Structure 1
Amino acid sequence: MNSPQCKLGYLGNTEGSAFFSQGKTAVCVSVVGPFEPKASKSMYDRATVDVTFRRKTGSISVHDKMLEGIMQSTCEIALNVEQYPRTSIVVTVQEMQDRGNLLSTCLNASCMALIDSGIAMHHLYAAVSCAVTESEEIILDPDELQINSSVAYFTLVFSNSETRRLLTSHTTGEFSHSTYVHCMDKCFAASKEIFNFYKNIVKKSSIFN
């Protein structure tokens, strides 16, 4: 896997933010809230979570809106929204450069920004992408060429719970059940490296702050 890079507190005037890059793909995420929303958006027993995805240039596509929905549902599951009733939490994901594995990069960046915000979470999450070749080789964190020539492509999201817990699964292409299981095993093992990376970044930022 490509070694990720991350800088916490990248943006001002936010509760939390992170610049995150993996390979040649980079995104910036900001978190604002919890704050009191308009009455129409307020829920008496929990916080509302809004995730907005922005492309570097141009408007977002239908596919981008689908990715935005995956990010939103993942954030909602991870956040302890019950602790912040009648409030709103806004997560904004800005693409800086897309060279493949955009969804997993956005998800990992959003987790780091949420950690930076200090908002209570049920668990952390880590996303891993992999491509499957015609010969059924599984490539973790594939580059653009490998993604485009693959027969199947996966982005799998795991929580940092004691037992393996798959939170989100986004797949394209054709594949067998056994191939999916093999991909899940490889991606789960790789997710542990990402959680260790999170831990190291937080330690470093704590030292310097």
Structure 2
Amino acid sequence: MRNSDCELKLSCEMCTLSRSAGSAKVQMGHTVVLAGVHGPAEARVTQQNYRELVIDVRVMGVTSRPCEKERMSGIEKIVSNSVHNMLILTNYPRLAITLTLQIIQDFGATTACCLNAACLALIDSGLQMKYTIAALSISLTVPETEEEDFEAKLEGITPSAKEHPLTVQDENKCERSVTLALRNSSVTSDDAKAQVVTSHCAGSLTEEEFEFCAFFAHEIVGTIFDKYKQCLKAKLISV
């Protein structure tokens, strides 16, 4: 197995929305996602939970086509599960928040970009969290011959490579992809798999391949956490 030399192109900022408890804008490659947190506020009677916080995640895509809505529904489930695990829900009984994610540009690695935007917006909101996460999407290229090994690289799709943001990538390339969200911890690279809190695979992966992807992600996510720190520092300086 080998990994390609690649650079993570990521930029982010906090406090992008004036009428929200927390907000963030994250750009990964050419994909841009805007996140906003509204609440906590008293939950509706029909959704109240007397033990913990209620979280309503909404993901809005670039278009309103039925296939796009189905894909956004899948991203909502992934983000919702991740957020539920990140937050200390029992600190906010009978309350509810709405986490809205607007995909402004969609050029690949969309789920990872949504996870990063959601995490940064929650940090900005001041809600108590168990940990923070950083996510990225990894592509696995299947070797043409048995002698070759598969190649892992960051998923990155440039606008020139696609006629439309929702166009499927080149069918001649046999690629699988996995989106991994890793928590910020001090584990060593030898135990990188223990750092993974969310994973979503497009295609099947062997255990060996998954472990390699976790190691590959572990080597890169530090850059994302550094960007979080820079955003938070810029926010504190501006206050």
Check whether TM > 0.5: yes
Percent identity between the aligned chains?
29
1:150 deviates by 4.3
1:200 deviates by 1.4
Q: Are residues 1:191 and 2:199 paired?
A: no
Instruction: Indicate conservation of the 8 Å contact 2:108/2:157, yes or no.
Output: yes
Structure 1 portions without partners, runs of 5+:
none
Number of aligned residue pairs: give it: 209
2:156 and 2:208 map into 1 onto residues whose CA distance is 20
Q: Are residues 1:154 and 2:178 paired?
A: yes
Cα offsets for 1:159-178 (capped at 9, x unmatched)? 11333421111001233321
Instruction: Indicate conservation of the 8 Å contact 1:19/1:26, yes or no.
Output: yes
Cα offsets for 1:37-63 (capped at 9, x unmatched)? 111111111101110000122154222
Cα offsets for 1:97-139 (capped at 9, x unmatched)? 0000000001001111111111111110111111011231101
1:196 deviates by 1.4
Counterparts of 1:53-68 in structure 2 under 5 Å?
Answer: 53-59=59-65, 60-68=68-76
Identify the residue that residue 153 of structure 2 maps to in structure 1: 139
1:176 and 1:14 map into 2 onto residues whose CA distance is 42
TM-score, normalised relative to structure 2: 0.82
Q: Are residues 1:172 and 2:196 paired?
A: no
- Residue of 62, 81, 95 corresponding to 1:87: 95
1:67 and 1:33 map into 2 onto residues whose CA distance is 21
Identify the residue that residue 74 of structure 1 maps to in structure 2: 82
Structure 2 portions without partners, runs of 5+:
1-6, 144-149, 163-167, 188-193
| Structure with greater Cα Rg | 2
Paired residue secondary structure (1:99) = coil
2:70 and 2:19 map into 1 onto residues whose CA distance is 30
Q: Are residues 1:104 and 2:128 paired?
A: no
Cα offsets for 1:78-110 (capped at 9, x unmatched)? 011111111001100001000000000010011
- Residue of 201, 204, 207 corresponding to 2:231: 201
Report which stretch shifted further, 192-201 or 100-109: 192-201
Instruction: Indicate conservation of the 8 Å contact 1:104/1:128, yes or no.
Output: yes
1:72 and 1:113 map into 2 onto residues whose CA distance is 14
1:142 and 1:5 map into 2 onto residues whose CA distance is 14
Please provide the CA RMSD for this pair: 1.8
TM-score, normalised relative to structure 1: 0.94
- Residue of 5, 10, 15 corresponding to 1:9: 15
